[in-house]
Amino acid sequence: MKVLILDPLKCTGCQACEYACSFQHTGVFNPLDSRIEVSAFFEDLSFVPTLCLQCEKAYCVEVCPTSALTKNDQTGVVDFDKDKCIGCKQCIIACPWGSIKLNCVGKEIIKCDNCEGDPACVKVCSAKALTFEEVEDVVLAKQKGTAARLKEIGKDLAKGVSS
């Protein structure tokens, strides 16, 4: 299963992801219609992108009274069916990430749909703060990174023992 990975340390705050996202979903460039949001912290000039993490235990799905939100077991995405939505906004309140929101006119619920497996935001992220990867690959890469560090520490330890 592929997931969108966020790396805030690499984010330059350019917001290209927001522009690409809104265009993908509405045909217009409007950050307010973006499913991904870049928060800027001007006090230290740091930037953090946030978006729907397609939770396994999705509170938004649990509170939705009309089953407009459902967890798709095949894709892993929390699907949103606009036609079933009654606009009660309980999902907005339930989402711990603030990643379900109202669109630019403040009427419709919008959330990330992973662009059906080809996220527009990832394509324009030059800093590679956003990537779309297989979960297993992410785990393997992390394991290897940790292992590499342990290997170096191990060398030093070994030196300590032998001397």
CB of 145 to other proteins, least distance (A): 20
Q: How far apart are CA 112 and CA 122, in angstroms?
A: 13
Q: Is 19 in the site for other proteins (CB under 8 A)?
A: yes
Q: Is 42 in the site for other proteins (CB under 8 A)?
A: yes
Q: How far apart are CA 132 and CA 130, in angstroms?
A: 7
The span of 30-38, 93-101, 108-116, 144-152 binding other proteins (CB under 8 A) equals 30-38
Question: 51 or 78, CB closer to other proteins?
Answer: 51
- Per-residue DSSP letter, 36: S
Q: At which residue do the structure tokens 């307010």 appear?
A: 32
Q: Is 104 in the site for other proteins (CB under 8 A)?
A: yes
CB of 105 to other proteins, least distance (A): 8
Q: Is 9 in the site for other proteins (CB under 8 A)?
A: yes
Q: How far apart are CA 141 and CA 111, in angstroms?
A: 29
CB proximity list for 147: less than 8 A, separation 6 or greater? none
CB atoms within 10 A of CB 151: 9
CB of 103 to other proteins, least distance (A): 9
Is residue 52 within 8 A of residue 100, CB to CB? The reply is yes
Question: 112 or 121, CB closer to other proteins?
Answer: 121
Q: Is 13 in the site for other proteins (CB under 8 A)?
A: yes
State the first-to-last Cα distance of the chain, in angstroms, to the nearest integer: 48
Q: Is 132 in the site for other proteins (CB under 8 A)?
A: no
Task: Give the footprint of other proteins on this chain (CB under 8 A).
Answer: 9-10, 12-16, 19-20, 22-23, 26-33, 40, 42-47, 104-105, 123-124, 126-127
